[in-house]
Amino acid sequence: MTRVAMIGLGQMGAPMAVNAINAGLDVAVFDVSPDATSAFSDLNARIALSPADAARAADIVCIVVFNDEQTIEVIVGTDGVLTTLRPGAVIAIHSTIAPETVESLERVARNEGVQVIDAGISGGPTGANAGTLLTMVGGPEDAVISAMPALNSFSKEVI
């Protein structure tokens, strides 16, 4: 079973996590807001205490946070996913951030044996709730293939 860490449970991330759970994936969730994670206590998800905790056993980490700074903190911060993520795992960055930030994070992750894909999403909260997002992915083909169980759980199309 594919193990997914979903980090960022706002208008997009929360329904994406619900769709991943409904697709039968093993999902851990994290958000800086306890209110956002508490909504998952009745769902079949593990509520993590930090990004690192969420990523501990993940095959793919989906990051849906607000900006470059938050994305950097979630990936390489003190409690970031790279502190626990196993080599061979994939980080999918769904946040809208600068290409230079994605490239920089990809280099750091690659040194840890982790792959990064830029996985922009389109469709807004309506598409996230319906599981019909359009996900536009850039990155190594093998990483994209590895991420497909998660991406397909909330996307109508992955290109």
CA dihedral 85, 118, 144, 80 (to 10 degrees): 10
Nearest-angstrom CA–CA distance, 54 and 61: 8
Q: Output the CA angle 119-4-139, nearest 5 degrees.
A: 30
Round the CA-based radius of gyration of the chain to a whole number and report it: 14
Residue 1 has pLDDT above 90, yes or no: no
- Dump pLDDT digits (tens) for 6-60: 999 999 999 999 999 999 999 999 999 999 999 898 998 999 999 999 999 999 9
- β-pair partners for 4: 27, 60
User: Is the whole model's pTM more than 0.85, yes or no?
Assistant: yes
Tokens 């319906």, located at residue: 130
Strand pairing class (133-138; 115-122): antiparallel
Determine if residue 139 is left, alpha or beta; phi over 0 gives left, psi from -120 to 50 gives alpha, anything else beta. left
- β-pair partners for 5: 28, 61
The first and second tokens of residue 63, run together, are: 């990051």
- Dump pLDDT digits (tens) for 70-127: 999 999 999 999 999 999 999 999 999 999 999 999 999 999 999 999 999 999 999 9
